[in-house]
A and B are shown apart, each in its own frame.
Chain A
Amino acid sequence: MAAQTHMATQAQPPRLVAPEGVSAASGSMFAEILWVAGRSLRKLTRNPMVLFFSLMTPVIWLVLFSQMFAKLFAQGASGGVALPYDYVAVMLPGVATMTTIQSASQSGFGMVADIESGFMDKFFVSPIRRSSVLSGKLLADGLRMAAQATLILLIAFFFKLVAGWRIPFATGILGAALLVVLTAAFGVAFSGLSNAVALRTKNTEATMMVSFSLTFPLLFLSTAMLPKGLLPGWVQAFSAVNPVSYLADASRDLILTGYDWAEVGSAAVAIVILGAILNGFAVSAFRAQGK
């Protein structure tokens, strides 16, 4: 009881009394999603180095590999006839795709961290819709992936200007914007896998293993790095059912030749199907929290 006497001698902090008419209420789902997304994006700005290094790999691919394989590609693709563009133009959409797949693979990490720290409980004990927590996270992820894809295109454009890289950018800024949207949408769709694994295992290592072991097979068993005609037969067969190929083909046309709405349409369908399946897993894993 000594502690109580001690307290009485302390200066009293202000009274916490609810103002008239103020009470927690339910409200717009849109606002909820924005708050959750805003938090994720704000965290991103606290770690500019992470954002910077997430762009190191794609830049290395663009600068190093595109140059290394340029000659090989020129011979393989045209049988010696000079092409109006460099290999880097073929590879550019692939590199954007690769970056977005990597980001999507890491999407679940934040989920695990929030569950472990107990921050997720703060969301769950508040009256916001549970779906807003997932949607907000996906929105932030999508914006981040769009920013990454934009930066990759800008870097390529920069080299086109200063180093004379032959990249047609056949559809201009609008086409580039479409490429960015498709790439980010694919990333959001694919991140369902990482989030589902994260929510089921609540384990960073498991989430990392599943995502990393899938990234490269998906990438190289697709048309992301080489057009279909240059792939071995069995890879061609697999790439036809690999959703990555649909994104890569549509993106590549936007860079090399122009709008091919059939390609863009198939890519959109592939993204919607992939997203529905993988995010379906994520939603069901999310619903199972607290069971």
Chain B
Amino acid sequence: MASKQQEPGAGADQSNGTGGDGAAIIAVQDLVKVYGGGHGPGRQEPVRALAGLGFSVKAGEFFGFLGPNGSGKTTSIRIITTLLAKTSGTVRVAGYDLEREPEAIRRVIGYTGQSIGVDGELTGRENLTLLGRLYHLPAATVKTRVEEVLTVLDLTEAANRPAYTYSGGMRRRLDLGSGLLHYPRILFLDEPTTGLDPQTRNAVWEYLRHLHKEQDMTIFLTTQYMEEADQLCQRLAIIDKGQIVAEGTPAQLKAEIGADVITVRIPRDAAFENARDRALALVRGIPTVKRAAVFDEGISVHAENGGATLLDIVRMMDAENLPIHHVALSHPSLDEVFLQHTGRAMRVEEVKPMSRMPFNRRRR
């Protein structure tokens, strides 16, 4: 189905923060990435990972990309951080053109990738010192800075141990630290908390909030967690199938829904589609219902006065002998926003840390 759902009066405010805004520190236009399609044996069909992405981020903003696996988050962030070549489009970071001045961009950005790029055989301090030197900072500055970063990330005690002895959370923190050594103006984080336990996740969130607040750092984060986007991002873009389907502050996005959300799941048997269509027709006849749409497990209904409407729906469906598997009433969350814009519920595919170790290629 089309990635961008057209619904008059309910679409995201696409112009928000974009356009000729002079303060844009990241400006992306018509970004396209097509993978593969080369020649020779073993080449796959070309895959269009980014289908004309456009957005901008203001200086000092905490901006996020929210989307499921394979939606193009990592591809976007790798292109913007100069790690991956784009197929077409224009990208400007901190006023520099990606194509002509990638080196200037590299000097002002910090990057923390999805896989934790830490050398396990080196100690935490050695990892940071090496990466600090790569920015051609004076040796004395690197030394002071490494100690600062170790302190901020609470790694001073473990600093002289090889990084392979670190816990997952410590490694993630060290990785985060390696992107901060050169006082970057913009920090890019690709799924910084995927695979972390809730406690460590909270700790990472606090560090990020601290960096953003205390340093006026612009932060660009990708995530597949609704909660993370909601908690951290001042503004976010929902990305699906290589396109931005909605953009705004978390509050704006949720306000768009403007009503309680009732989700009715229908048993997925042979009669599923028929039952779903009939339920949809019924529900649309209820006066309090503002919008109703099908999704892959049933129907999703936006209504004022959700409690009463829910009862109406159940009664009506029961009278028509339509089966109900599960009913839920909720206030709008980013889940509903995603559902509304893509017609699918967003599922998080939890990736076990092990599966990202040597034998697998990195996900894109």
- Say whether B39 faces chain A, with CB atoms less than 8 Å apart: no
Q: How many residues of B contact A (CB 8 A)?
A: 54
Stretch at the interface among A42-50, A223-231, A234-242: A42-50
Of the four ranges (under 10, 10 to 19, 20 to 34, 35 or more), the interface on chain A belongs to: 35 or more
Selected from B131, B151, B361, the residue in CB contact (under 8 A) with A122 is: B131
Selected from B126, B135, B148, B202, the residue in CB contact (under 8 A) with A24 is: B135
Chain B 27-67 per-residue mask, 1 if CB under 8 angstroms from chain A, else 0: 00000000000000000000000000000000000000000
- Say whether B107 faces chain A, with CB atoms less than 8 Å apart: yes
* Bound CA span A18–B142, Å: 12
CB-CB contacts below 8 Å: B74-124 with A? 78, 81-85, 103, 106-109, 111, 113-122
* Bound CA span A31–B126, Å: 17
Do the beta carbons of B137 and A14 come within 8 Å of each other? no
- Say whether B136 faces chain A, with CB atoms less than 8 Å apart: yes
Neighbouring A residues of B137 by C-beta, 8 Å: 22, 24-25
Do the beta carbons of B136 and A27 come within 8 Å of each other? yes
Closest to B180 in A: A16
Closest to A10 in B: B206
Stretch at the interface among B1-9, B209-217, B317-325: B209-217
The answer to whether residues A14 and B182 also contact, given A7-B210, A26-B136, A39-B122 and a CB cut-off of 8 A, is no
Do the beta carbons of B115 and A116 come within 8 Å of each other? yes
- Say whether B255 faces chain A, with CB atoms less than 8 Å apart: no
- Say whether B133 faces chain A, with CB atoms less than 8 Å apart: yes
Do the beta carbons of B106 and A117 come within 8 Å of each other? no
Do the beta carbons of A14 and B202 come within 8 Å of each other? no
* Bound CA span A38–B358, Å: 24
Neighbouring B residues of A24 by C-beta, 8 Å: 107-108, 135-137, 182-183
* Bound CA span A39–B78, Å: 25
Do the beta carbons of B122 and A127 come within 8 Å of each other? no
Do the beta carbons of B134 and A123 come within 8 Å of each other? yes
Chain B 241-272 per-residue mask, 1 if CB under 8 angstroms from chain A, else 0: 00000000000000000000000000000000
- Say whether B17 faces chain A, with CB atoms less than 8 Å apart: no
- Say whether A32 faces chain B, with CB atoms less than 8 Å apart: yes
- Say whether B305 faces chain A, with CB atoms less than 8 Å apart: no
- Say whether B141 faces chain A, with CB atoms less than 8 Å apart: yes
- Say whether A113 faces chain B, with CB atoms less than 8 Å apart: yes
Do the beta carbons of B106 and A118 come within 8 Å of each other? no
Closest to B117 in A: A118
Do the beta carbons of B362 and A125 come within 8 Å of each other? no
* Bound CA span A195–B229, Å: 40
- Say whether B130 faces chain A, with CB atoms less than 8 Å apart: yes
Neighbouring A residues of B231 by C-beta, 8 Å: 3
- Say whether A13 faces chain B, with CB atoms less than 8 Å apart: yes
* Bound CA span A119–B135, Å: 15
CB-CB contacts below 8 Å: A131-149 with B? none
* Bound CA span A123–B113, Å: 12
Do the beta carbons of B111 and A125 come within 8 Å of each other? yes
CB-CB contacts below 8 Å: B127-147 with A? 130-131, 133-138, 141
Neighbouring A residues of B348 by C-beta, 8 Å: none
Do the beta carbons of A43 and B121 come within 8 Å of each other? yes
**How close is B3's CB to chain A, nearest CB, in angstroms?**
26
The answer to whether residues A121 and B113 also contact, given A7-B206, A16-B215, A42-B126 and a CB cut-off of 8 A, is yes
Do the beta carbons of B141 and A22 come within 8 Å of each other? yes
Neighbouring B residues of A118 by C-beta, 8 Å: 113-117, 362
Neighbouring B residues of A18 by C-beta, 8 Å: 183
Do the beta carbons of B82 and A125 come within 8 Å of each other? yes
- Say whether B162 faces chain A, with CB atoms less than 8 Å apart: yes
Neighbouring B residues of A35 by C-beta, 8 Å: 130, 133-134
- Say whether B178 faces chain A, with CB atoms less than 8 Å apart: yes
- Say whether B205 faces chain A, with CB atoms less than 8 Å apart: yes
**How close is B160's CB to chain A, nearest CB, in angstroms?**
13
Neighbouring A residues of B362 by C-beta, 8 Å: 116, 118
Neighbouring A residues of B113 by C-beta, 8 Å: 118, 121
Do the beta carbons of A26 and B103 come within 8 Å of each other? yes
- Say whether A256 faces chain B, with CB atoms less than 8 Å apart: no
* Bound CA span A33–B115, Å: 25
* Bound CA span A113–B78, Å: 19
Do the beta carbons of B83 and A127 come within 8 Å of each other? no
- Say whether B286 faces chain A, with CB atoms less than 8 Å apart: no
- Say whether A215 faces chain B, with CB atoms less than 8 Å apart: no
Do the beta carbons of A46 and B134 come within 8 Å of each other? no
- Say whether B152 faces chain A, with CB atoms less than 8 Å apart: yes
* Bound CA span A204–B114, Å: 21
Do the beta carbons of B151 and A119 come within 8 Å of each other? no
Do the beta carbons of B205 and A117 come within 8 Å of each other? no
* Bound CA span A265–B202, Å: 64
- Say whether A78 faces chain B, with CB atoms less than 8 Å apart: no
Neighbouring B residues of A126 by C-beta, 8 Å: 106, 131, 134-135
- Say whether A17 faces chain B, with CB atoms less than 8 Å apart: yes
**How close is A91's CB to chain B, nearest CB, in angstroms?**
35
* Bound CA span A22–B183, Å: 9
Selected from A7, A14, A23, A121, the residue in CB contact (under 8 A) with B111 is: A121
Chain A 256-272 per-residue mask, 1 if CB under 8 angstroms from chain B, else 0: 00000000000000000
* Bound CA span A47–B119, Å: 14
Do the beta carbons of A127 and B103 come within 8 Å of each other? yes
Neighbouring B residues of A38 by C-beta, 8 Å: 130
Do the beta carbons of A290 and B83 come within 8 Å of each other? yes
CB-CB contacts below 8 Å: A164-179 with B? none
Do the beta carbons of B148 and A121 come within 8 Å of each other? no
14 contacts between A and B (CB under 8 A): A16-B215, A22-B138, A23-B183, A24-B182, A42-B126, A113-B358, A117-B115, A120-B117, A121-B117, A122-B131, A125-B109, A126-B135, A127-B103, A127-B134
Supplied contacts A119-B118, A127-B107, A290-B78, 11 more A-B pairs, CB within 8 Å: A3-B231, A7-B206, A7-B210, A14-B151, A16-B148, A24-B135, A46-B122, A122-B178, A125-B109, A126-B135, A291-B85
